[in-house]
Every structure is written in C-alpha cells, then in structure tokens.
Chains A and B, each alone.
Chain A
C-alpha cells in the first residue's frame, strides 16, 4: 500500500491567526477522510473571507483543538519559525510478536504536511504626535488588512489544494472497515513543546522506528 504525501503550500501566519488557519485546514482534511455518515457544518472564518466545512462531531473538534493548543503553546516558546503540523492516516494491523516488542503495527497510508511560517506581528511605530499616530495607525491597519486578505487568499488556495489532492489520489485509500464518522485512525503531530528543535524530528524518528519509513510500506 502506498503512503501518499501531500505537502501543502506554506502559509505565513501571525500567532493570532494560527488557530483559524489550522482549524480550517485540519477540518477540511478530516471531512474528506471521515467517510461515515456525516452531518456537515459550515464554519465561517472570523479572520478570513472563507467558509470551510467540518463534521459535526464533538470529539473530533475537541481533538483538533487540543492539538492546535499544543502547537500554539510551542509557537509561543519558539516564535518566528517555520514549522509543520502533520496529520497522518493509518491502518492498524496485528503483527506477530518480534524482539522489537510491537504486536500492533501502524501502516500509514496518507500524510498531510501543513507548512506554516510563523512571524511576529510588526510593531507599530511609537509617536507622541496625535496626527502622526493616527496616520501610522491607519497605515498599519491597512497593511494588516491587506496582509490578512492575502493570507485568506492563500488559505483558500490551500483548501483547493486539498480538494485537488483528494480528487486525484484515491487508489491508496483502504476500504471502509467500520461505520464510524471518522472511518480511519489518524494522528495529528505537532512539534513537541518539550523539545525545542529536536522535538519534531524525534517524533518522526519515533514513528519511523515504530512503523518503518512510509516508502517502505508500499
């Protein structure tokens, strides 16, 4: 079985925008992989001119929010970095006990990498002159507006990228085995908050040790 990988277009985001960006992307991906009977729910972004769809499933929502919070916590400690959030879908298969000790093996069949470049908001120039302050504030506001519009547009592109990927790659999806809303087990990986730079790689390494490299699975 192939493990298909989708690298989503990098988005340059400021910390306050992370939550909404990640929510929209993760929910869109999961909506496409939640193949059980789903009642879709429209969600209108507060920051962007975008409406995305999510499954009406409290547990799913909770899990996503937890992971996002975890990621935001990491970002607070490590500002101004490029980082990735990965959502992986896998199948669980029983395996005979080996000296490695694992009886259950995960076969990853799809991985989505959400690439974010976190930047700090530009500080506004200090001025005691009221008029100058108003002008500066106005410029900053316009700049912030246009930046936000650009991000909204990029986010839309990312959502379309998801649709395109889903539309083109279908053969690798395992057959449905249950009638749950989220049909396949999945995990959302964020850079570890405990480990600054090694965390992400450690996480990948750990998974590789556990399951083998995606390319080895095919």
Chain B
C-alpha cells in the first residue's frame, strides 16, 4: 500500500487509503477498456468478450469493486502489482495508451524480462522503432497537496456540519467525507462513460475482436513522469479535464489527452479487417455463390452498398473488389452492416496480399509472443493472437484453386477453411473432381485448425461470438430486396451453433458424408446457414460425381461434349475464379457438371445400343448401391430431420 510518510493518524490513514484507491480505480477503469485482458487471475474469453464488466464474478464482488461502488471486470495484470509499485501518492500516475504497429518479423532482441509496471519513461524501453508506436491517449491522475492548511476545505467541512447535524466537528467531518466520497463515485461513473466515447475504445474493441490479423496492437505504459508531447502531436489532441475533487488536505485530479481522430492510423492498408468482411463471406442473404447482384451499380460508387455486393473468398477478382473496405469496416461495422459512417471510410484495399503481413510470419510472431509469455509480452495485448493465423495454409491441397486460397491468405483461418471447402465443392460441382480431394482436404484442415489453437476452446468461443455479431447484422440486412429467399431460410434456422448440419441431399450420397466424416472442426462449419448453403448444392455435386464416374466408360462419352454445351446457361462463369484459372481443365468438365435433367438426357441419348444398355444397367446397379450406402450412413450419422431439400 502506498503511503505518505508525513501522516500517521488513523484519519490520515483513511484519507491516504482513499487516495490510493482513487489511483487504483482510475488505473483499473482505464486499463480495463484499453488493455487486452491479460489478468493472471480468472482469465476467460467469455468474461472479456461479452459485456466487459457485466459478466465478471457476478456472484462475488472483488473487494476493490466496493470502492466507489463500481464493480469492474477482473483487474488487468498491471493492477495486481499496483500497490507494490506505487511509492507515493504524491507522484502523478501517467498512463500512456500506445498504439503499436507490430513488426512483421519478431524482434528477438526485444527485451522480454521487463515488468509490466516498470517505468517506461524512455522510448528505448519500448524497444520499438520510433515510428512503430504512437501515444494515442495520455491519462494523468494526480494528487496535489495543499501548500497552506486548506482553509477552503475547513470551511467546506464546517458547511457540511451545519447542514446536516448542527455543526459538531466529528459529524461535519463525516458528512464532508461522505460528500467527497460521493463525488469520487460520480467522477468514476463519468470516467467509465467517457472512456467508452473516446475514439480509442472502438479501436480497442475491434482489435480484440479481430484477433491478430493486423499488425496493430494496443499497449500502455505507466509512469510517474510526464513526457511532453511534441507540438505537432499536441495539435492533434483534445483534452478533457475532470473537475478536481478536494480532499481534506489536497485535491485529486484526473485528465486525459486523446487523439482527436484515428483516421490516419486506421486508414493504413493493414488496418484490422472487421466483421464487414465476414458478412460478405458467409451467411449474408447475398452469399449464394451462384448469384450475382448485377443490378447494383458498382461497389465504388456506393460504399454503403458494398457489403451487399458479393465478395467471395474464392473470387479471383477479390483484390479488385476488395473495395468492400470502402465501407467503414473498422469504424462502424461491428455487426451492423448497414449503418455506415461515410466520414470514417477507409481507403480501398488494393489487394490483401499487397499489404497484409505474411500470415505465416505473423503466426510465428504470435507463437514467439506466446512462448515468451513473460511480463513484457503481456505488455503486448494479444489474448487471441495465435489462434487466428493459419500456420501452414500452403499445405492445403489446393491444387485447383491456389489463387483463390491466396486471395484470402490474410483472413482468419475459419474463412480460409470455409472458402477452401466451398471452393472444392464449387470445383467439384463444375468439374466433377474426385471425392478424395475433399476427403483429403478435411483432415488436413482439421489438423491445422487444431494445431493453430492451443487455446482451441477460446477460439471457438471467439468465433461463436463473431457469428453472433454477424447474425445481428443479418437482421438488419433482411430489409434489403436481394436475397430474400436466403434470408427467409436463414431466419428459419435454429440459432444453435453447435448442431451439425442436418440436411442431406435427397439422394443421400456419401460425398457430403465424407465431408462430415472427416470431423471437420472449423467453427464456421457449425453454422447452419453456411453448411446449408453448401448442402443446398450437394445433390448436383453428387450427381456431378456420378456423371463423372459414368462418363469414364468409353461408350457413354460420345457426343457428351456437344450435349453439355447448353448446360452452360446454368452457370455464371464470372462467379467462379476457378473457371478463369483452370480454364483448360474446367471448360470440358464444366459441361459435365450440371443438373440431373441433363444427366438424364445424356443417358437417354447413349442408350441406343444393346451393349450400352447392358453397361448402363451395371452402372445403375453401382449407383444404387452407392445410394444405399450413402443413405444408411446418412441415417447413422444424422438423426435429425431433413431440413432442406432441393
């Protein structure tokens, strides 16, 4: 406990304690909403991600919660050593909130053994490049002792006494203390609200929710000396000063200087990717990958609408269309989707690959950070860092769509996996590719996902939360004319995110069963809306596979290329980059993959010869046996009702 040496009476001790608690509470409130949750005590993603304060230890209030009648989330690590660190209440408490642009390659020379509460008064202590960090907020908590024996306060005390109890010295002091304490309470209420209205809070939340896909991170340094800002920096800052509160022997003050706007920082190309992107990938009413909203003029001309133009992770022109980031994805995207503040728009991302750090190195960075989970790295707030970066996407068997995979390289792994799977389904749909591809892909992606997540549970919770946010967005999206059917379907879906997809194709073939059997652990795979959008196409995909099998027989292949040409009317080439990339491969295979009607016509045309009939009969038998196997497996695996059949 920090004490002041000059006072020893019980009364002074109480005052000193209140002052100490004032410092501690201020620090707690500030760090709670600026420093990622790195407490060494009860760490839980739930605690952090739901309402920051509401969910913490509701059953048992921490002793410190009772101070100033404000129950806060479990304290950040910094606070745990606060009492030890503070030498005197007369020293100001300076809390600098620092925005750090993390190096792409981990700095192994960085000192790791520092203390979170060390006095980072010099820039060198941060061991960062001078331009890689910026102070975005500076909070100063200060206790100034009155030089003279504060006659003002004595008057105040007397006033309190006269008002309340007729002026006895003891009761007047008590009343004064009560009144002063009440003022502290109100000040902390204001601080709590204000801190959430400052621009940095938004960024804090986004950085936490987006994991470590961007090189920005928030940190803080605590010191007892004030390093003056440069004039240039000062000009960019606003100041808010709380009215100081008088104590019997001094006054407590609290002020903040904060960057007026974070535009210049956030408009960096590597700014965090928000849920706005995720909306475009999965579950949006417009996410049917076989439809394109051509009626919309252009993404650039209408930033507000870009989230409704479809951007697919497997789209080759992803980079070009990545103008989705026009929409203030960082500023106002959190699960809203519609309401965007044009004034906060980010400049367009030219291409994710151009600007985003290599994810592998980011992952390594995270791994290093995590490995050295010592005090200095706690200084770098990254509770979810290692989970969201794919450690080795290059190992994914993406022979068919390497570029598509590349184009989503900088996105969270769940999106990558999802897009990869959808890619495969899409490719399969078109080219009738081998079932083995997906079957191979699934275990790989599964193991990779598991490998990333040393904190797999947390990752899932994180993703669930994202889904929750994104669902909120959906309700807003509903009003839009496009994708009505999808919206309705989505609306019908139960909200449980833990159920496996129930719907099966009517044929019940084993393709998607293989998909399921591989134990696909991708969090997004739990989301029914996504899986259903996959499953909706499964009959065709399955039939495509059968067609491919059938067409391997020489007698039946004749004339196919002519016949399949009309099937192209069902396709929109521009939708799938695989067509562009694997033009040679898919041109022919595209024709093969089509609806069951085309299959029937193909078969009918080929049944002219007796040999053909005989061969067809054999193939039919094979098909039936596959169907039976698929159906039996389906009934084993999936006990739920069949929701969606197409």
B186 touches A134 (CB 8 A): no
User: Any chain B CB within 8 A of the CB of A61?
Assistant: no
In the complex the two chains form, what is the Cα distance from A164 to B249 in whole Å? 26
Write out the residue numbers on chain A whose beta carbons fall within 8 Å of the beta carbon of B178. 175-176
Least distance between B505 CB and chain A CB atoms (Å): 36
A145–B304 CB distance below 8 A: yes
With a cutoff of 8 Å between Cβ atoms, the chain A residues found around residue B13 in the complex are none
Complex formed: what's the CA distance from A46 to B338 in Å? 10
- For the A-B complex with A51-B196, A167-B190, A170-B186 known, give 19 more contacts whose Cβ atoms are closer than 8 Å: A31-B192, A32-B193, A35-B69, A35-B182, A35-B189, A39-B58, A40-B54, A41-B53, A46-B336, A48-B339, A49-B339, A138-B305, A146-B342, A163-B193, A166-B189, A167-B242, A167-B243, A168-B243, A175-B182
Report the contact-size class of chain A (Cβ under 8 Å from the partner).
Answer: 35 or more
Chain B residues numbered 226-275 whose CB sits less than 8 Å from any CB in chain A: 242-243
B-contact bits for A125-153, CB 8 A (1 contact / 0 none): 00000100011001001100110110010
Q: Is B637 an interface residue (CB 8 A)?
A: no
Residues on the B chain within 8 Å of A130, using CB: 295
A39 touching B53 by the CB < 8 A rule?
yes
A56→B56 CA distance, assembly (Å) = 12
Cβ–Cβ < 8 Å partners of A32 in chain B = 186, 189-190, 193
Whether a CB of chain B sits under 8 angstroms from the CB of A88 is no
Give the CA-CA distance A38 to B58 in the complex, in Å. 11
Q: How far is the CA of A52 from the CA of B202 in the complex (A)?
A: 12
Decide if B472 is an interface residue (CB 8 Å cutoff). yes
Lowest 5 CB-CB distances: which A-B pairs, in order? A149-B341, A41-B54, A49-B332, A39-B71, A37-B69
Contacts of A173 in B (CB 8 A): 182, 186
Closest to B67 in A: A37
The number of chain B residues with a CB under 8 A from chain A is: 53
Cβ of B147 within 8 Å of any chain A Cβ, yes or no, is no
CA distance A160 to B258 in the complex (A): 15
Measured CB to CB, the closest approach of chain A to B257, in angstroms, equals: 16
Kindly list chain B residues whose C-beta atoms are within 8 Å of the C-beta of A135.
297
Query: How far is A28 from B197 in the complex, measured between Cα atoms in Å?
Result: 12
**Set of chain B residues within 8 Å of A48, measured between Cβ atoms:** 339
Is there an interface contact between A44 and B334, defined as CB atoms closer than 8 Å? yes
- For window 82-105 of chain A, which residues contact chain B by CB distance below 8 Å? none
Which residues of the partner chain B approach A79 to less than 8 Å between Cβ atoms? none
Any chain A CB within 8 A of the CB of B66? yes
Q: Is A47 an interface residue (CB 8 A)?
A: yes
A53 part of interface (Cβ distance < 8 Å): yes
B38-69 contacts to A (CB < 8 Å): 51-54, 58, 61, 65-66, 69
Residue A50 at the B interface, CB < 8 A? yes
Residues of chain A contacted by B196 (CB below 8 angstroms): 42, 51-53
Judge whether A159 and B71 touch: CB under 8 Å: no
Interface pair B52/A42, CB less than 8 Å apart: yes
- Write the nearest CB–CB distance from A172 to chain B, whole angstroms: 11
CA distance A11 to B130 in the complex (A): 44
Contacts of A175 in B (CB 8 A): 164, 175, 178-179, 182
| CA–CA, A138 and B342, complex, Å | 14
Q: Which of A153-202 contact B (CB under 8 A)?
A: 156, 159-160, 162-163, 166-168, 170, 173, 175-176
Which chain A positions have C-beta within 8 A of B70?
37-38, 40
Does A36 interact with chain B (Cβ within 8 Å)?
yes
Residue ranges of B at the interface with A (Cβ–Cβ < 8 Å): 51-54, 58, 61, 65-66, 69-72, 164, 175, 178-179, 182-183, 185-187, 189-190, 192-194, 196-197, 201-202, 205, 242-243, 295-297, 301-302, 304-305, 331-332, 334-336, 339-344, 472, 476
Q: Complex: how many Å from CA A130 to CA B481?
A: 13
User: Can you list 27 A-B pairs with a CB-CB distance of less than 8 A?
Assistant: A31-B192, A35-B186, A37-B61, A38-B70, A39-B54, A41-B54, A44-B334, A49-B344, A50-B197, A51-B196, A51-B201, A51-B202, A52-B196, A53-B193, A56-B54, A134-B296, A134-B297, A141-B304, A142-B302, A142-B304, A142-B342, A149-B339, A166-B186, A167-B242, A170-B186, A175-B164, A175-B182
By the criterion CB–CB under 8 Å, are B182 and A176 in contact?
yes
B71 touches A38 (CB 8 A): yes
Best-surrounded residue of A48, A152, A162, A166 (most CB of chain B within 10 A): A166
- Is A49 in contact with B331, judged by CB distance below 8 angstroms? yes
Chain B residues whose CB sits within 8 angstroms of the CB of A148 once the complex forms: 339
Q: Which residues of A contact B197 (CB under 8 A)?
A: 50-51, 156, 159-160, 163
The smallest beta-carbon distance between A11 and chain B, in angstroms, is 16
> B507 to chain A: closest CB distance in Å?
39
A203 CB to nearest chain B CB (Å): 28
A170 CA / B179 CA spacing, docked (Å): 9
Tell me whether A138 and B302 are in contact (CB under 8 A): yes
B residues less than 8 Å from A36 (CB atoms):
69
CA distance A41 to B193 in the complex (A): 10
- Closest A residue to B476 by beta carbon equals A46
Most buried by A among B53, B66, B175, B197: B197
Rounded to whole angstroms, the CA-CA distance of A22 and B302 in the bound complex is 31
B205, closest chain A residue (CB): A51
The smallest beta-carbon distance between B25 and chain A, in angstroms, is 13
Complex: A162 Cα to B197 Cα, angstroms? 12
Please, which residues of chain A bring their CB within 8 A of the CB of B183?
170
Residues in chain B near residue A43, CB distance under 8 A: 51
How far does the alpha carbon of A32 sit from the alpha carbon of B242 in the complex, in Å?
14
B4 CB to closest chain A CB (Å) equals: 26
Give the complex CA separation of A202 and B341 in angstroms. Answer: 41
The contact of B202 among A47, A49, A56, by CB within 8 Å, is: A49
Judge whether A145 and B339 touch: CB under 8 Å. Answer: yes
Which residues of B have CB within 8 Å of A134? 295-297
Residues on the A chain within 8 Å of B69, using CB: 35-38
Listed residue (B53, B242, B344) with the most chain A CB atoms within 10 angstroms of its CB: B53
Which of A31, A138, A149, A168: most chain B CB closer than 10 A? A149
Cβ contact within 8 Å between A40 and B53: yes
